[in-house]
Structure 1
């Protein structure tokens, strides 16, 4: 995948990733959540954070 340098495209990308995260979060049943589910959520947040940092560096 080629780097996303356009600010508008970066914002759209991040919004999509956050929406996916929210959908996954909404679908989790607290009564049946396992450690792997929490790890997956943390991984998603880490990926979004990494992408934000990459976008910030690209300016």
Structure 2
């Protein structure tokens, strides 16, 4: 793992990059061929982003 991101600006950049990757993945999915495992993975990615947001918020307090 890398070093913790402490700077607010770096945290925002990190989250934007992760969200951008998620949106790219979402755009690439073909609805007709999407399986339950794919949906579960998308939900997991959202959960990870939410967890990272909470982590960053707690670092600021």
TM-score range, shorter chain: over 0.9
- Cα distance in 2 for residues equivalent to 1:52 and 1:45: 11
Structure 2: give runs of 5+ residues left out of the alignment: none
Q: TM-score, normalised by structure 1?
A: 0.97
Number of equivalent positions: 59
Structure 1 ranges of 4+ moved more than 6 A: none
Q: TM-score, normalised by structure 2?
A: 0.94
- What displacement does 1:11 show? 0.2
Larger helix fraction of residues? 2
Q: CA RMSD in A?
A: 0.4
Structure 1: give runs of 5+ residues left out of the alignment: none
